[in-house]
């Protein structure tokens, strides 16, 4: 593997039983995906609804295991790790931004952002979280609960949370899927700014061509395989 490769997928396959539950009727979501991502790159994975984008993201981030093939994360073969091993890897190196924000409703904005640092036993969790919330222009919303924030504000909290532990890579799953156009633009701007500042690798799943165009590379997932999208 090339030294600056952070993530690669080899012949990645994911098959799931059909909805009627019979194992003979398998749905082939991914059919031998080959992928290499270098450290610091920004990558968009495009595809139609149901094309398997989120499944691929789950496999790349180590949230799920492939039916066949391998994912290498920082030269570590994810298949070789058990779920706790993969959890530790995520703790050290991965951040997430989700379409539905996934903030804990019972924690304030500040506490939500502190969460990854607290899992890492960072003694300065609060200071770091506070700084990053200020960076995403939510310095005056620290003690607000998610339900007291707008969709855009919630996603900014989620961005702060994704980057607060300075991960090597951030996975974003349709980060603007639940937001209006104006808010989306602002969120994307912020996401890319913070990403640039921290020189993080960004892997984004989206069906939004405009959003994808902001990334250095654009990949298209179609019929279970991936290819470079035409510019």
Partner 1 sequence: MNTLRLAWRLLKRDWYVGELKILVLALIIAVASITSIGIFTQRIDLAMHDQTGRFLGADLMLNSPRPVDKQILDKADSLQLQISKSLLFSTVVVANNEYQLAQVKAVDDHYPLLGKIEYTRQLYGDTIESANGPPAGKAWLTQRLLKRLQLKAGEPFELGDSELLVGGILKHDPGQAGSFMPIAPRMLMHYSDVGRTGIIQPGSRITYQYLFSGKLADRERFARWLKSRLNPTDRLIGGKQGSPALNTALDRAEQYLALASMLSVMLAGIAIAMAANRYGQRHFDQTALLRCMGATQSRLVKLYSLQLVMVGTVASVLGCLLGYAAQQGLVLVMVELLPDNLPHPGYAPFITGFLSGLLTLSGFSLPAILRLKSVPPLRVLRRDSMPLPISAVFVYGLALLSITGLMWWQSGNLSLTLIVLLGTLACVLILTVLSTIMIALSRYLLGYLQGPWRTGLMQVIRYRRANQLQILALGLALMILLTVLLLRIDLLDRWQSQLPAHAPNHFVINIQANEVKPLADYFQGQGITTEGLYPMVRARISAINDVPVLEAVPAGARIDEALKRELNISWASSLQKNNKLLDGQWWTQADSGKYLISVEWGLADRLNLKLGDTLSFQSADKQFKARIRSFRKVQWDSFQPNFYIIFPPATINEYPHSYISSFYLSSEMKDIINELIREFPGLTVIEIDAIMQQVKVILDQVTLAVEYVMLFVLIAGLVVLLASLQSSMDERIHTAIIMRTLGAKRAFLRKGQLAEFTLLGLFSGLLAIAGTEIITYGLYSRVFKLGFELHMPFWILGPATGIVLILLTGWLYTRRVIMQPPARILDN
Is residue 102 a contact residue for partner 1 (CB under 8 A)?
yes
Provide, rounded to whole angstroms, the least separation between the CB of residue 20 and partner 1. 15
Tokens of 181: 């156009």
Q: Mapping DSSP to helix (H, G, I), strand (E, B) and coil, where does residue 110 land?
A: helix
Residue 104 in contact with partner 1, rule: CB under 8 A = yes
Residue 71 lies near partner 1 (rule: CB under 8 A): no
Of 88, 193, 197, 223, the residue at the interface with partner 1 (CB under 8 A) is 88
* Binding window for partner 1 (CB under 8 A); candidates: 36-44, 58-66, 129-137, 179-187: 58-66
Three-class secondary structure of residue 65 per DSSP: coil
Number of residues that bind partner 1 (CB under 8 A): 30
Binding of partner 1 at residue 26 (CB under 8 A)? no
180 binds partner 1 (CB under 8 A): no
Of the candidates 2, 121, 181, 182, which one interacts with partner 1 according to CB under 8 A? 121
* Candidate segments 6-14, 56-64, 180-188, 207-215, binder of partner 1 by CB under 8 A: 56-64
Q: Which stretch binds partner 1 (CB under 8 A): 40-48, 83-91, 183-191, 217-225?
A: 83-91
Token look-up 């991936």 returns: 226
- Residue entry with tokens 């996934």: 102
Stretch near partner 1 under the rule CB under 8 A, chosen from 40-48, 108-116, 135-143, 187-195: 108-116
Lookup result for tokens 């139609």:
48
User: Least distance from C-beta 84 to partner 1, angstroms?
Assistant: 4
The H or E element that residue 220 is part of is strand 217-222
Q: How many CA atoms lie within 13 A of 37 on its CB side?
A: 34
DSSP letter at 215 equals S
CB 61 within 8 A of CB 6: no
Q: How many CB atoms lie within 10 A of CB 197?
A: 10
d(CA 179, CA 162): 18
* Cα–Cα distance, 159 to 51 (Å, whole number): 25
Which residues of this chain interact with partner 1, rule CB under 8 A? 54-55, 57-58, 61, 63-64, 83-84, 87-92, 94, 96, 98, 102, 104, 106-107, 111, 115-116, 118-121, 173
């Amino acid at each position: 593997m090339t030294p600056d490769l952070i993530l690669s997928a080899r012949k990645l396959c994911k098959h799931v039983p059909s909805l009627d539950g019979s194992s003979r009727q398998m749905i082939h979501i991914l059919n031998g995906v080959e992928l290499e991502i270098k450290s610091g790159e920004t990558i968009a994975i495009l595809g139609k609804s149901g094309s398997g984008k989120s499944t691929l993201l789950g496999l790349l981030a180590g949230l799920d295991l492939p039916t066949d093939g391998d994912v290498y994360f920082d030269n570590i073969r994810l298949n070789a790790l058990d779920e706790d091993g993969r959890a530790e890897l995520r703790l050290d190196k991965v951040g997430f931004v989700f379409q539905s924000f996934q903030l804990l409703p019972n924690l304030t904005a500040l506490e939500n952002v502190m969460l990854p640092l607290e899992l890492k036993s960072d003694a300065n969790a609060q200071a770091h979280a506070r700084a990053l919330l200020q960076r995403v222009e939510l310095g005056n919303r620290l003690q607000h609960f998610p339900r007291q924030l707008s969709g855009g504000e919630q996603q900014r909290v989620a961005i702060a949370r994704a980057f607060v532990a300075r991960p090597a890579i951030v996975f974003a799953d349709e980060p603007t899927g639940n937001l209006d156009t104006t808010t989306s633009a602002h969120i994307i701007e912020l996401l890319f700014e913070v990403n640039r500042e921290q020189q993080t690798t960004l892997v984004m799943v989206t069906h939004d061509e405009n959003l994808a165009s902001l990334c250095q590379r654009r990949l298209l997932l179609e019929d279970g395989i991936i290819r470079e999208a035409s510019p």
